[in-house]
A and B are shown apart, each in its own frame.
Chain A
Amino acid sequence: MPKMISAKFILEHKTNGSNDFKLDVEFDVSSKGIIAIFGSSGCGKTSLLRAIAGLEKNATGRFSLNKKVWQDNGTNLPTYKRSIGYVFQEASLFEHLTAYGNLNYATKRVKNLSRLDDHETYFQQIIDLMQIEDLLPKYPAQLSGGERQRVAIARALLIRPDLLLMDEPLAALDTARKHEIIPFLLRIRNEFDVPIIYVSHSVDEIIKLADHIIMLKDGKITDQGDVATTLSKHQYIGEEQNQTGAVLNATISKHDKMWHLISAEFDGRLLWLSDNQEKIGQKVRVKIMAKDVSLSVGQNHQETSILNHFRAKICAITTDTHPSMKLVKLKIGDSVLFARISAKSTNILNLELGMSVWAHIKSASILS
């Protein structure tokens, strides 16, 4: 019997009578790796995470982790009885305790934890993993945002939770700090046997970290499944505006030593990319931004600098953020790609739904 997370929640927020928000979700996922809950702000992803933690008093429904019931008819464990570790969006360290005091706060309260044989080793392992040895005597006020978040993550891990909940742990950090934390999160996924539910509105983070994705919109699940498969069906929205794109699942298949290229195979097609020491057979996620894809109807792409050309079928044309631009959704085999081209070009080329065109991919990047 595989280990499962099984959840169903209904939660209504009444915000001053207007815009009533309702969260109504049900999902079952395998309880391993990183499960991302993805959606724009206000979609209810934080409410869902809080409901799982037992922090939303009005949430009704059920929740069980590996057959252990936390919430169901008649059962509703308070937060302090749920075996969770919770990392909040902003630094949530206790201001009156040092970093060490914060870590200790957690371990003192879990029964028998300090009596486990490997407690000392485990404690040290986490300190080493998060690289917080030097921070231990400091108060939260003396730590940077990234350092505080590392201590908070260590604190959540130290109580050996059955489930780790993370609410946009990187959202309050600048880009440099984000890159500082992501490797730690990956190591947690790889080195600890704890499922993580990770809330985020950043596709970049999710592609780098998550295994499974649950997409939320207006309090409802719109899609879920394996990250690349699910994301490849949807428009990719990057960190900044006009960063629409798509994600492909691919496998590294060939090296071209002479030109320092590698080929990533998807749907039986080869995409040539710069060689960054990826291994043959390695599974990768490739991000292709809509602005890096151009279209043509003719055959003569021999005289262009672009390496990658694919036969594609137009399945949607929408106006992009600016009226001068169109976003064209393409299908290459089973994969979805987006091209951002000018409205004028759409007209000149007579682009229509169902039409067969050539997609030229100027650049693509490997995400994991």
Chain B
Amino acid sequence: MIFSDADLNAIWLTLKLATMVTFLLLLIGTPIAWWLSQTRSWLKAPLSAIFALPLILPPTVIGFYLLIAFAPEGPVGHLTSFFGLDSLVFSFWGLVFASCIYSMPFVVQPLQNAFETMGNRPLEVAASLRATPIDQFLSVVLPLCRSGFFTATILGFAHTVGEFGVVLMIGGNIEGETRVVSVQIYDHVEALEYSQAHYLSAAMLLFAFIILLSLYIFQNKKTSFGVRL
């Protein structure tokens, strides 16, 4: 076995984190993307900018603010202590929370693009055929925007896996709790365990390539809608 137990732990934790975050982001991001695609409110521009902030902010800046927010006197800290929960700092759930914010644009933007490309016409057609709004979403929006959902899922997942700075800032480095693969690699390098670092890094490289490859293959395919299905 080329991976140590600690490595496997880190891989498992990373997958768990990314799956959880992707799932939550699809739940939260879909209505946000939907609202952004439909609204004509003046709030659209400022809110779009806010949701896109993680694209350009250094992870340390996000990590820093989250750290302050999670602290017992911070807004999130108040909430967690009010509900009798543990502090989110240096915890798995703290990582989930932070990753949701950090990976939000990678889910919201593909979805928003897909909704905007689809336009309103299919919804109007569905309504004229007696479909209720929820029915319209499930029977028309989901299948017509499925490449958008696919892209959002892949990017949200992959981006969470590739996260480092935020994890280090608010998660620390606790094995089985917050030590994800990227941090584990950092540890190996720090400890001069280059072969271990090599294995994990190569695994990450392969993972990233396969993810992106599947994304591009899928996107090429969907252009010939209906014919290859």
Contacts and interface: CB of A to CB of B under 8 A. Distances in A.
Interface string A58-94: 0000000000000000000011110011101000101
B131 A139 contact: no
Nearest to B121: A92
Contacts, number: 68
Interface stretch (A102-110, A216-224, A268-276, A344-352): A102-110
B129 to A, nearest CB: 4
A198 B128 CA distance: 16
Contacts of A141: 224-227
A239 interface: no
Interface residues of A, number: 26
B121 A95 contact: no
Given A105-B139, A109-B135, A95 B226 contact: yes
A94 B125 contact: yes
B132 interface: yes
- B interface residue count range (under 10 / 10 to 19 / 20 to 34 / 35 or more): 20 to 34
B229 interface: yes
A360 to B, nearest CB: 50
Nearest to B227: A141
Contact of B131 (A95, A109, A140, A156): A109
A170 interface: no
A159 interface: yes
B143 A106 contact: no
Nearest to A55: B124
Contacts of A84: 128
Nearest to B145: A96
Contacts of B143: 96
Contacts of B131: 80, 105, 109
A62 B143 CA distance: 36
Given A79-B124, A94-B140, A95-B144, A110 B226 contact: no
Interface in B164-199: none
A140 B125 contact: no
Contacts of A142: 226-227
Interface string B113-127: 000000001101111
Interface of A: 53-55, 78-81, 84-86, 88, 92, 94-96, 105-106, 109-110, 139-142, 155-156, 159
